[in-house]
Amino acid sequence: MESNANDLARYAALCQEANLVPIVEPEVLMQGAHSLEQCSAVTEDLLHCVFDEIYAQGILLEGMILKPNMILSGLDCPTKSGINEVADTTITCLLQIVPAAVSGIAFLSGGQPPEVATAHLNAMNTRFMARLPWPVTFSFARAIQQPSLQRWAGLEVNTAAAQQVLYHRAKCNQAAIRGEYYPSIESP
């Protein structure tokens, strides 16, 4: 963990030396049977370690973006956490560790189904937006692209429909960063 945190901080330093904004991406994976509480504890340790290294490297906090995981129970955990529980646990952890000077937080979807990742992001913004020192947004790759790629299936005839699916996912996530997403938006 310390070695990876050092690598992330060194990457951030190199980016800032080149006048680039580093996107620092510490991630606790969803694979496994860990509980929400276990993920929270590991994420907390990881973020402490990363920010210790960021301070040691002299990173300008205002000139970086944090791209962490959401705190989730593992894929094989028998007890799945609710949308609000994930939002509460994730934001509580970040508020305790991430300095207010950080420019923003852009969450990974981490392999969550697209609608679930969007619902988690929405709950964070709905429940905490007024208390957050940084904007909370998304940096979903799979959760935005996968539905569109599945619809496209490599067939030119599906291109327009796939573009509509991509547009729809982007609009859902745009609503989530405003705290305006509702599951009914998913229905045509």
What positions carry a catalytic annotation?
25, 67
Q: Tokens 């945190």 belong to which residue?
A: 5
Of residues 175, 80, 78, 84, the one with CA closest to residue 124? 84
CA atoms of 155 and 84, how far apart (whole Å): 39
CA atoms of 135 and 124, how far apart (whole Å): 11
The DSSP line for 3-23 is HHHHHHHHHHHHHHHTT---E
b/e map 20-43, b = 16+ CB within 10 Å:
eebbbbbebebeeebbbebbbebb
Cβ atoms 103, 54 nearer than 8 A: no
